[in-house]
Amino acid sequence: MFTKMSSNVARRIMPIALLAAFAVAALSACDNKICSDGPSSAFESPAGTFRAELRSGGCGGFSSTETGLVLIKKGSDEIHRGYFGVNARLKGINAKWRDEKHLEISGFQMEDLLWYRQGGDLGIRITLRPNSSASGGQ
Q: How many CB atoms lie within 10 A of CB 43?
A: 16
**Residue of higher predicted confidence among 108 and 88:** 108
Specify the 3-state DSSP secondary structure of 125: strand
* Cross-strand bridge partners of residue 67: 56, 86
Question: Could you tell me which of 40, 127, 28 has the C-alpha nearest to residue 84?
Answer: 127
**Residue of higher predicted confidence among 17 and 132:** 132
Global pTM value: 0.66
Q: Output the CA torsion sign for 17, 22, 28, 33.
A: positive
What is the average pLDDT value for the chain, to the nearest integer?
78
Q: For residue 133, name the pLDDT band (cuts at 50, 70, 90).
A: low
pLDDT per residue as tens digits for the range 30-57: 433 445 556 688 999 999 999 999 998 8
Q: Output the CA torsion sign for 19, 21, 24, 27.
A: negative
